[in-house]
Amino acid sequence: MNNFKKEEKVEKKKETGRMSRSLVNLFSGNFLSKENVVGSVPYIFFLTFLGVLYIANGYNAQKTVIRLNKVGNELKELRSEYITIKSDLNFKSKQSQVAQATVELGIKESTTPPQKIVVDEKMIKKINVAD
């Protein structure tokens, strides 16, 4: 048990020694030595790559938002054009408007109502025999 406490004290001293050495290296500028920089190069490249991806993603998101706004505005314009054309068509397809438009072409509206044609069996036989 006594041996275990000694080991804990030794480990605590090592940890505080490491921390103090790290702080000394930081303040003295030794962390920029060749060994430390070369060891950190892959990590620095990875962080640079992540930064470039982050920036590219931001530009892509902006482009997508701009395109969505443009398509939304175009959709609103087309919808209003559709409603306008539909109302014009409904107005022009009224019976009175069609009659007025055909007068200019020389076609007159029929004033006599349509009549039902009744065909007897004798008439059908005559038509069939004539063929």
Tens digit of pLDDT for each residue in 15-70?
667 777 777 766 776 666 667 777 778 888 999 999 999 999 999 999 999 999 99
pTM over 0.75: no
Instruction: Give tens-digit pLDDT for 62-97.
Output: 999 999 999 999 999 999 999 999 999 999 999 888
In this prediction, residue 3 carries a pLDDT of 59
Question: Once rounded to an integer, what is the mean pLDDT over residues 93-121?
Answer: 87
* Residue linked to tokens 């060891």: 39
Q: Compute the distance between CA of residue 68 and CA of residue 75 in angstroms, rounded to an integer.
A: 10
Asked whether residue 115 carries a pLDDT value surpassing 60, the answer given is yes
Long-range contacts of 51-57 (CB under 8 A, 24+ apart): none
In this prediction, residue 71 carries a pLDDT of 98
Pair 102, 109: CB distance under 8 Å: yes
In this prediction, residue 95 carries a pLDDT of 87
In this prediction, residue 8 carries a pLDDT of 61
Pair 85, 77: CB distance under 8 Å: no
In this prediction, residue 24 carries a pLDDT of 76
Pair 110, 116: CB distance under 8 Å: no
